[in-house]
Structures are given as structure tokens and as C-alpha cells.
Amino acid sequence: MKFFVDTAEIRDIREMADTGLLDGVTTNPSLIAKSGQNFLKLIAEICEIVPGPVSAEVASTDFETMLAEGKKLAKIADNVAVKVPLTPAGLKVCKHLSDNGTMVNVTLCFSPGQAILAAKAGAAFISPFVGRLDDISTDGMQLIADIVNIYNNYPNFHTEVLVASVRHPMHIIEAAKMGAHIMTCPPSVIKQLYSHPLTDKGLAAFVEDWKKTGQSIL
């Protein structure tokens, strides 16, 4: 399973990249606004830090402007994935850009039918939002299971399932059990994956017992 980090904070991205476990980055207009940074410069900087796909989202909603924005974003670096909304115009942009060799991440997916459309439009990634479905008392993980199952039925679909709006470690674990290709989440959720009280307890005991040996490895 590939790990993307869902943030526009350079410090967080560098910290995650240092772990050696980071495969890509996703951003969205809300995260860019929160960062207070210049969008185009920020994406260029992120693309230099992380060699994997870096999602940069278009800002418009009409076909012509979205296509122009997508082409401009794609020129920033080879690893930019242009992010478009799951609308008729967004999928038309997806088809145009994908046909020309640009990676496209189709975002704001909330149903299996929408995911089928994105795959047919040649999307490199489909981003189903699990947390936002959970927020409205709908099973977000069921959507992931449905999309993975549907895509597996069609070997000519090359779209990777990028589980988004991930809020806690169980979303990641369940998505991995289902065979989702990628998940994206805030750095705090990735950090939670490391933690287990028995790891802490066990390590403390090993450190204490090692001291009793009076030895040094180095």
C-alpha cells in the first residue's frame, strides 16, 4: 500500500519524507488556503522534496478554464497529478489530460458509479472520501470495498484507488485489507500507526536488561 500525506505544510512533508515511507502528497484548495503560501511555488517545492505523485487541484469548475489550469499545473513538474472534481466537466478534463500523458486525480468521489466514470475517463487515481461519508452516517469503507471489487473485474481499468478523507488508523488498516492501492491522510494519523503500548513497555524492559549486561555493541 502506498502512503501519501494530505497536507500543504512543507515542514510536515519533509518530516514524513525523512521516514522513507512516503510515496506521494495530496493537496486541496482548503489545505492551500490554510498554508497561506503561493500555490504554484508551493507545488514546485513539494515536487522537489517528494519524487512520487503530488496532487495539485484546479480552482475553476468550467471545462475550458479547468483544462487551462490543469495544463499549467502539469508543467510545474513531471510528478504533478492534476486534481479535478468528479463532475461532467471535470471528467472531460480528466480524459483530455490523461490522453496527453498527464496523471489525473479525480476527487470528491462518493459513489461506486462515480468511480466507474473516473476509470473510464482514464484517471490515474480516484479519491473516495471515507471520513466525510462516515460524518453523514454512511459507511465510507463500504465504498472502498465496492470500488476495489469493481475495478478488479476490469483489467483494462488502470485507475488506482486513493483512499482519502482518512481520519484514523482503522481506516488505513481496513483499506489495506481490501486491497486499496493508496491512502492519503494528515501526518498525525500516520504517526498513530507506529504506536502500541506493548512496544513501549517491551522496549523499556529491553533497555533496562541490557544495562545489566554491562556490555556495549559499539
Catalytic hit among 2, 71, 72, 83:
83
Shorter beta-carbon distance to ligand G3P: residue 112 or 131? 131
Quick count: other Cβ atoms within 10 Å of Cβ 100?
A: 10
The number of residues making up the chain comes to: 218
DSSP states along 183-204 = EEE-HHHHHHHH--HHHHHHHH
Least separation in angstroms between CB 175 and ligand G3P: 13
Shorter beta-carbon distance to ligand G3P: residue 7 or 98? 7
Give the burial class of 204: count Cβ atoms within 10 A of its Cβ; 0-12 exposed, 13-18 middle, 19 or more buried.
exposed
Shorter beta-carbon distance to ligand G3P: residue 159 or 165? 165
Question: Which residues of this chain interact with ligand G3P, rule CB under 6 A?
Answer: 6, 26, 28, 129, 131-132, 164-165, 184
Residue sitting closest to ligand G3P (CB): 165
> Residue type at 179?
G
Least separation in angstroms between CB 68 and ligand G3P: 22
Least separation in angstroms between CB 12 and ligand G3P: 14
User: Which residues are 184's β-sheet partners?
Assistant: 4
Does residue 212 carry a catalytic annotation?
no
How far, in Å, CA of 119 to CA of 91, rounded? 10
Q: How many helices (H) and strands (E) does the chain have?
A: 11, 8
Shorter beta-carbon distance to ligand G3P: residue 66 or 109? 109
Least separation in angstroms between CB 66 and ligand G3P: 17
**Active-site residue list:** 83
